[in-house]
Structure 1
Amino acid sequence: MAKPPRAFVRPPTAQEAVLVELRRRILTAELAPGVQVLQEAFAEELGVSRVPVREALKILAGEGLVRYKPQHGYFVTEHSGEELLEVYRIRQLLEAEAVRVGLGGLTLAGLAAMDAEADAVESAARQGDVAALIAANRRFHFTLFEASGRKRLVRLISQLWDAAEPYRASYFADQDNRATVPSEHRELAAAARRGSVPEVVRLLDAHRGRGMRALQGTEGFSG
């Protein structure tokens, strides 16, 4: 019996590979806010020319993750306290809208996915695995937001999350902060299962507010 043809998987270009790696390092704070991205050193480390690094940085600049300073180069975006407060206030509005639109359409599979990600958050928090915790935390929340079916809305929320993600790494590095997150996620998942929009919005606001207050005391958060 003839074997079915193997699906063709297009390999990433050098630019795509560099973009993924740079974005990962920025969002996990391996490249901390304010740090210069040295194109030549990064290209040498990854075994590519400077061209894909430069093109990837242009894309990241468009996303707001890096900033270009003439005669100096690219630097990981560093937000002031006022800027991050603005990010969190806009998130509050957009995330509430996503919940209002999408909670009624959250399927049993979606609820199960939230429970699974809550388990992943708890496991990562217990092990002190900050990178895994950041990833699971994001998947948990976006399972809820994506139920809205509003792709543009979800994309805007994602961009706002990206702005604060490097600071979130510092937040999760603190053991006390890691300890509070799992129970808050369990409460959110339970409220989502009950289908209560006001309760989910209230819990999200409280959850986000605690994170914001803690972030204001983390290293790299400038006033």
Structure 2
Amino acid sequence: MSSRGAGPGTTAQHALDGLRRAIVDGELRPGQRVLQEDVAENFGVSVAPVREALRALEQEGQVVYRPRRGYFVTELRAADLEEIYELRQVLEERSARRALPTLDADALHRIELAARDCADAVDRADVAAELEANRRFHFAILEAPGQVHAMRLIQLLWDSTEAYRAMYYNSPQERREAVHAHDRILDAVRRRDADLLIAEMDAHRDRALRVLTEILPP
């Protein structure tokens, strides 16, 4: 894990951000033990904020704690991923149908900007940047007033599979396909066609799930 010391004023949030980045970048792989002392040294913090960050990641499902052994990056099976994606489908359809009529010009601009950032990241083969832009793209479509609880659950589901989403985007072919999928989703948003939007979002999600289940244990 590369050093990410932040100097004075470092808090558990810095440790949390650093651990998330390490999981996405593949520096911490699914099933790998997280050595708290090493993380603290690399991030330039004490063990206490690292422990606090790991507890937060445990609540999100990104790490698991094993008594007398410590924390490990969550290792999902295909069945786990299928359940999570099924839950996402239900919640995201609900949120998208409610959000679409509320999307104004500013919201559309944010969606378009995220789509462009995602495409630019693909051109640079920058997986971490693509993941960040991809998340902005989808959440800009889904977020709308009055959906606080639904969005909290959707965010939790996304967080719990971030390491696997990074594995999906390691494929150049899938990175390019994601850009095309975003173009189709954006077209549906511009048309204000809820049924088409849901169909394109489902197709995008289902393709990722198919790719991932091929490389995961059952």
- Would you say same fold, with TM above 0.5? yes
**Whole-Å separation in 2 of the counterparts to 1:84 and 1:64:** 12
- AA aligned to 2:217 is S
Note if contact 1:27-1:162 (Cα within 8 Å) is conserved in structure 2: no
1:222 matched to 2:202: no
Tell me, which stretches of 5 or more residues in structure 2 are unaligned? 1-7
1:110 matched to 2:110: no
* CA-CA distance at 1:149 after TM superposition: 4.1
- AA aligned to 1:152 is H
* 141-150 or 83-92, which deviates more: 141-150
Greater radius of gyration (CA) = 1
- AA aligned to 1:37 is V
1:44 matched to 2:41: yes
- Correspondence for 1:183 among 175, 180, 193: 180
Could you give the per-residue CA deviations for residues 88-146 of structure 1, whole angstroms, max 9, x where no partner exists? 00000000000111100011111111111111111111221111111111100000011
Note if contact 1:57-1:74 (Cα within 8 Å) is conserved in structure 2: yes
- Correspondence for 1:169 among 166, 169, 191: 166
Corresponding residue for residue 53 of structure 1: 50
Could you give the per-residue CA deviations for residues 158-207 of structure 1, whole angstroms, max 9, x where no partner exists? 11111221111111111111111111111111111111111100111111
SS of the counterpart of 2:72?
A: strand
Are the structure 2 counterparts of residues 148 and 212 from structure 1 closer, same or farther at C-alpha, using a change threshold of 3 Å? farther
Corresponding residue for residue 4 of structure 2: none
SS of the counterpart of 2:64?
A: strand
SS of the counterpart of 2:71?
A: strand
Identical aligned residues as a percent: 42
**Whole-Å separation in 2 of the counterparts to 1:171 and 1:105:** 31
- Correspondence for 1:202 among 199, 202, 205: 199
**Whole-Å separation in 2 of the counterparts to 1:18 and 1:166:** 17
Note if contact 2:60-2:160 (Cα within 8 Å) is conserved in structure 1: no
Note if contact 2:24-2:128 (Cα within 8 Å) is conserved in structure 1: no
* CA-CA distance at 1:22 after TM superposition: 1.2
**Whole-Å separation in 1 of the counterparts to 2:60 and 2:175:** 28
TM-score (norm 2): 0.92
TM-score (norm 1): 0.90
**Whole-Å separation in 2 of the counterparts to 1:151 and 1:118:** 24
* 12-21 or 94-103, which deviates more: 12-21
**Whole-Å separation in 2 of the counterparts to 1:184 and 1:215:** 17
Tell me, which stretches of 5 or more residues in structure 1 are unaligned? 1-10
Corresponding residue for residue 3 of structure 1: none
SS of the counterpart of 2:151?
A: helix
Equivalenced residues, count: 211
Corresponding residue for residue 65 of structure 1: 62
Corresponding residue for residue 189 of structure 2: 192
